[in-house]
Amino acid sequence: MKRVFAWTIAAVAAAALFGALIYVVLVTAHLSQPAATTVHGLTPRRLWATSVVMLALVGVIIGGLALARPAGRFGAASGPIGAIIALAAGCIAALNGGLNLAVANGGPGTGNGVVGGAAAVVLGLIALTLGGIALARSRRTGLATRRPA
């Protein structure tokens, strides 16, 4: 019972932190004011932002798995591949999210995908961090296993 409560509190805290980081990115980009008229439906920029958020989420998941299991499924040689994929996905997502925010001409609700762009920036930076840590750890363990005894 205590463990479930702790996981619930941790999940709520993580969601609140994620929302706060997205708001900080929107305020920094000067796009935090909501629109006077709301656009409903899928627009091309919302589709762009959604696809970039999904790429960033894949990068975070792969980076987390590479950090949790640095040796990989097929031995120590495949360890850095997950970290490199997380780095590439995070870099692409953060850059595209920032570009989406740069070309947006309105806040949330305008159909420009600014919330998705901000989420892509945050998740892309998280994927970059996880991938970098996993890559450094895999190189450290790779050097330790290659030294002669």
What is the pLDDT at residue 77?
44
Spatial contact of 96 and 47, defined as CB atoms under 8 Å apart: no
Residues 6+ apart with CB under 8 A from 100: 45, 48, 49, 52, 112, 113, 114, 116, 117, 120
Spatial contact of 59 and 127, defined as CB atoms under 8 Å apart: yes
Structure tokens at 108: 């949330």
What is the pLDDT at residue 59?
93
Residue 45 sits at φ, ψ, to 5 deg, of: -75, -35
Residues 6+ apart with CB under 8 A from 91: 124, 128
Per-residue CA distances from 27 to 4, 24, 56, 62, 101 (Å): 35, 5, 21, 29, 11
- pLDDT tens for 47-86 read 999 999 999 999 999 988 888 876 655 454 456 888 899 9
Domain residues of the chain, as ranges?
2-35+42-146
pTM score above 0.85: no
**Residues 35-46, mean pLDDT to the nearest whole number:** 81
- For CA atoms 13, 15, 17, 23, the dihedral sign is negative
